[in-house]
Structure 1
Amino acid sequence: MNNDEYIKNRSRFMDVIEDNSIVILFAGKPCKKTGDELYQFTPNRNFYYLTGVQEEEHIVVLSKFKDIAHEKLFLKDFDLDKEMWNGKTLRDSEGKEISGIEDVVYMKDFNFYINKLINGSEEINLYLDLNREAIDEADSIANTFANEIKNKYPQVIIKNLSSKIAPLRMVKSEQEIVEMQKAIEITIDGVKSLMNNAKVGMKEYELEAYFDFECKIKGVKDFAFATIAAAGKNATILHYVENNSELKDGDLILFDLGAQWNLYNADITRVFPVNGKFTHRQKEVYEAVLRVNKAVIKKIKPGVDCKELNTWSRDLIAEECIKLGIIKEKEEVSKYYWHSIGHSLGLDTHDLGMQGREFEFKEGMVFTVEPGIYISEESIGIRIEDDVLVTKDGCIVLTKNMIKEISEIEEFMK
């Protein structure tokens, strides 16, 4: 994407930040894997959303005083000796070109600059990315920095920026949709390759490799998440990732997967028979899930409450489970369906703003629709997941090119 996108993102973001505030976002660092080897680096998504910079260790500082916003990008100091081993890092002119930020300097000036911004203020807000999944999660760079600032500058009020940036990120721009559609189309090609190459006797990981190959030859550098390749009873485990069982004749296999393109993600789930033909019972369960998938997609439009949509869709699934003869009362549905109907999708697979799923749909949001029924005692697990874009008066299915009708699947796999 060109830097106009990041310039607009920063402008909209600073509009919702109150006066007398500083915002600091860290690109992050790659984690150590073992010895001198590091895990593959991926930037903090909020940092990327506001800068477009994908390289590690840089920092962006946004400030607002007397209702005038200023932005400054700090690049890590370059080391010519290290560059002989690891390649060239960003220079100031490149940082300016990528981000559209005019004031680009190097890290040696960071501490002086922050001290200058804070000193002289009786009270000042400091926004950092402080989200954590659990209380025992290791401190991030931002958490560590927050503790340091609190000890040195008692006049600083530390705030989490998530509630400010999440509503912005949930509504996608035209350029973001282009990136996501690219990730989706590559994912679809990968799923078709899986369907073309499925054979009885393969291991789940052997078949999964065809998806990986299809993505790699199209330029994908990373995946949206670890692929779920679950055959037979394994498909009744929601986040099954071992992917090492044998594909048996009569098995269904569930694939939940997604390519990532320029850090934007696809997320698709499809289920198909390893031998190319559904059994009668498999058809019954599949059609039940497909009916819910279609009904939910039809329901989504601006103004619909996501929490209410979850309740409504759960009721639909319960009705289907009663028809299938696996429960007698709707309250029993949690035995066979226990997750939500979907989630926001974007720079994160489970994108920001999803806490409690308490929001109303707006035009420009991208959401997954993924009903499922998991019958462990019958070794049948079905989930059908599409990605939809909320429009002015409804939604469009971004994954429409990925077949999901039983007749289409069986015909494709002949």
Structure 2
Amino acid sequence: MKYQNLETKLFVNNRINLIKHLKNNSLAIFNANDEFPRSGDQTFPFKQNCDLFYLSGIDQEKTILLLYPDCPNPLYREVLFLRQTNEHIKVWEGLKYTKSMAEQTSGIKKICWLEDFDHILHSIISYADHIYLNTNENNNTVQPIAYRDIRFIEEMKSRYPLHHYERAAPILRQLRETKSETEVQLIQKACDITRDAFIRVLKFTRPQVTEYEIEAEIIHEFIRQRATGHAYPPIIASGNNANILHYCDNNQICKENELILMDFGAEYANYNADLSRTIPVSGRFTPRQKSVYKSVQNVLKEAKKLMKPGISANDYNENVGELMTAQLVGLGLITMEEVKNQNPAYPAYKKYFMHGISHHLGLDVHDFAHRYTPFQAGNVLTCEPGIYIPEEGFGIRLENNILLTEEGNIDLMADIPIDAEEIEEIMNSSI
């Protein structure tokens, strides 16, 4: 891993909080992600299962965590199983966790090799009443592939059919959406690296530069500061490309008087940042571009004020819709007559602002959280209004990451340039 060692207490506390939610005499098992084949003899870069990392801090393939707090044998109340390294693996793949390194990282005393998992599990499972197993229950996606957790569930139910099986995911959803102080610090670190990459881009961008050259500047700064890499595929969308919400070809020349909508973020220690900014290729906004830009920024400012513990996502989105409607009317993009006659299921503003305003952020960019419970202190949320005008050849999105507290919101990206005039000043100071 490129990132620096993390505090062990983060993972110890996460396990303590999980155990509080388990039924009496329960055993819980968490698996590492698969190593997915790419082509030939290659695999895609490994990304750890976020729940396993959350509970152990172990960032290595073929890892299993077993928790059985009521186990009659105290040796097996917390057990971490690792792939055993050897000289061949050391030569070809490099350093892997030793038992002492894994104990230092996770705070777990009992570290075993993976080959011992079946024997140890079989020796204690008959004493447990409930077995908690995990799956990816993020409802933003459907998993068509039988990934490791799914295969493991089938195997467990075949071998031990009479146990009471429970879902670990609802507990992790509840725990992960409220960030600890250490987690906030890690997200802040990812935001700080993202800030430096953005400032680098401001000083680099000029007419005739390509979208992929901008992407290269970003990843350069990320890796230089020990980030793992991109939190998600970066969007570097010049001109009308900005009206493709998930544009990621990043292969066009940035032309004079165009805007570039950039959506990117660093991943640091598996925690993510998520930034959107829109800048003028030539270093100056046109009057129309600046007018739309300031409308988006006004929505961002007011939407951040609405993000308070206790507000429901539905009420929040409705209020933001009213803010956006007022701005679009002021820009002449929609009329009050259209607003008056709009379909409540698809309001008039959706023609120019068609995506959501916020999502949870953390170990996943679209982090695991309950979409139907009110926001609460400790949530980290994006705030990302946008106005997209294909007929005028540009789109604008601005996005910051916000920590909710009882005393008021904290903008984790407050020091990243956002005012149009500041962006123009930085871009022209390097000429």
Of residues 342, 363, 368, the one that matches 1:347 is 363
Residue 134 of structure 1 deviates from its aligned partner by 5.2
Query: Bigger shift: 66-75 or 222-231?
Result: 66-75
- In 2, the alpha carbon distance for the partners of 1:368 and 1:248 equals 30
Give the 3-state SS of the residue equivalent to 2:77 in structure 1. strand
* CA deviation map 1:255-290 (0-9, x unaligned): 100011111111110001000111111112111111
Are residue 282 (structure 1) and residue 293 (structure 2) matched?
no
Aligned to 1:242: 249
1:193 partner letter: R
Are residue 126 (structure 1) and residue 142 (structure 2) matched?
no
* CA deviation map 1:303-344 (0-9, x unaligned): 122221112112211221122222222322221111111111
Are residue 305 (structure 1) and residue 296 (structure 2) matched?
no
Query: Bigger shift: 249-258 or 357-366?
Result: 357-366
Query: Bigger shift: 226-235 or 206-215?
Result: 206-215
Alignment of 1:15-414 (within 5 A): 15-65=20-70, 70-119=77-126, 123-131=129-137, 137-328=144-335, 329-330=338-339, 331-354=347-370, 357-414=371-428
Gaps in structure 2 of 5+ consecutive residues = 1-5, 340-346
- In 1, the alpha carbon distance for the partners of 2:388 and 2:164 equals 48
Residue 198 of structure 1 deviates from its aligned partner by 0.8
Gaps in structure 1 of 5+ consecutive residues = none
CA contact (8 A) 1:318 1:333 kept: yes
Question: Relative to 1, partners in 2 of residues 1:264 and 1:134: Cα closer, same or farther, differing over 3 Å?
Answer: closer
- In 2, the alpha carbon distance for the partners of 1:238 and 1:7 equals 39
Give the 3-state SS of the residue equivalent to 2:407 in structure 1. coil
Higher strand share: 1
- In 2, the alpha carbon distance for the partners of 1:393 and 1:306 equals 20
1:23 partner letter: A
Residue 78 of structure 1 deviates from its aligned partner by 2.4
Residue 19 of structure 1 deviates from its aligned partner by 1.4
Question: Relative to 1, partners in 2 of residues 1:339 and 1:78: Cα closer, same or farther, differing over 3 Å?
Answer: same
Superposition misfits of 4+ residues, deviation over 3 angstroms: 64-69, 132-136
- In 2, the alpha carbon distance for the partners of 1:148 and 1:376 equals 51
1:294 partner letter: K
Number of residue pairs aligned between Structure 1 and Structure 2? 411
- After superposition, the CA RMSD in angstroms is 1.8
CA contact (8 A) 2:71 2:124 kept: no
Query: Bigger shift: 182-191 or 311-320?
Result: 311-320
Percent identity between the two aligned chains: 33
- In 1, the alpha carbon distance for the partners of 2:174 and 2:127 equals 33
**So what's the TM-score if we normalise by structure 1?**
0.95
Query: Bigger shift: 6-15 or 330-339?
Result: 330-339
CA contact (8 A) 2:34 2:147 kept: no
CA contact (8 A) 1:149 1:156 kept: no
- In 2, the alpha carbon distance for the partners of 1:302 and 1:171 equals 11
